[in-house]
């Protein structure tokens, strides 16, 4: 039995903000069995990679929902006050 391996990769551009663009590149190495149809396997892999790219691009643009607000340092004052200047 001879197993064939192919490399499938895509590049997905996205827009962060006006005039700010990014690009995500994903690739996968696939082993094709003799009974598999190469074009069908490629198409399924490309669709899977596109979905992953879109998900990652949304995380980059919108942010990860699981990410929390940064906590203030422990030794920082609770309120921001300014010292009065004496002239």
pLDDT tens digits for range 29-71: 999 888 888 899 999 999 999 999 988 888 887 765 555 555 6
Looking at 12-16, 43-47, 61-65, 78-82, which range is the least confident one? Answer: 78-82
pLDDT score for 14: 86
Structural domains of the chain, count: 1
User: What are the distances in angstroms from CA 10 to CA 21, 45, 55, 56, 80?
Assistant: 17, 10, 14, 13, 49
52 belongs to a structural domain: yes
55 belongs to a structural domain: yes
- Under DSSP, the state recorded for 71 is P
35 belongs to a structural domain: yes
36 belongs to a structural domain: yes
Per-residue pLDDT for 85 more than 70?
A: no
pTM of the model: 0.62
Q: Give the chain's mean pLDDT.
A: 80
83 belongs to a structural domain: no
Q: Which domain, by its residues, includes 44?
A: 4-61
């Amino acid at each position: 039995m001879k197993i064939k391996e192919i490399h499938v990769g895509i590049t997905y551009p996205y827009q962060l903000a006006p005039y700010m663009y990014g690009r995500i590149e994903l690739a996968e190495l696939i082993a094709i069995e003799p009974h598999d149809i190469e074009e069908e396997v490629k198409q399924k892999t490309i669709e899977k990679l596109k979905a992953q790219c879109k998900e990652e691009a949304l995380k980059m643009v919108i942010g990860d929902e699981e990410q929390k607000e940064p906590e203030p340092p422990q030794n920082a004052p609770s309120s921001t006050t300014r010292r009065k200047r004496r002239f």
